[in-house]
């Protein structure tokens, strides 16, 4: 599956990243599965919005869809 990552400004392109779901593909009612986000190229700093893949029907009410990307240091 994949997720969509929307950058903090309209000048940058929306990206997709792959996900892997922990556990079985089928999730029994009342249970949850967690996913790990694959690599994406954060082209700008700021708050990116993560949108779940079309195969993910529902997310928790406590789901935080914001990924904060900081400025890169040149060290």
> Nearest-CA neighbor of 10 among 41, 48, 38, 40?
48
pTM equals 0.64
pLDDT band with cut points at 50, 70 and 90 for residue 47: very high
| Residue 11: DSSP 8-state | T
Answer positive or negative: Cα dihedral of 37, 43, 46, 49: negative
CA 61 – CA 2 distance, rounded (Å): 20
CA 24 – CA 47 distance, rounded (Å): 31
pLDDT in tens, 16-38: 877 766 656 666 777 766 777 76
Q: Which of 2-6, 15-19, 49-53, 57-61 has the lowest mean pLDDT?
A: 57-61
- 3-state SS assignment for residue 43: coil
What mean pLDDT comes out for the span 47-71? 78
């Amino acid at each position: 599956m994949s997720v969509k990552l929307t950058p903090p400004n309209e000048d940058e392109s929306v990206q997709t990243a792959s996900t892997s779901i922990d556990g079985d593909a089928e999730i029994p009612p009342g249970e949850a599965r967690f996913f790990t986000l694959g690599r994406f190229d954060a082209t700008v700093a700021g708050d990116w919005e993560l949108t779940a893949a079309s195969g993910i029907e529902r997310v928790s009410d406590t789901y935080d869809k914001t990924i904060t990307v900081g400025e890169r240091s040149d060290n």
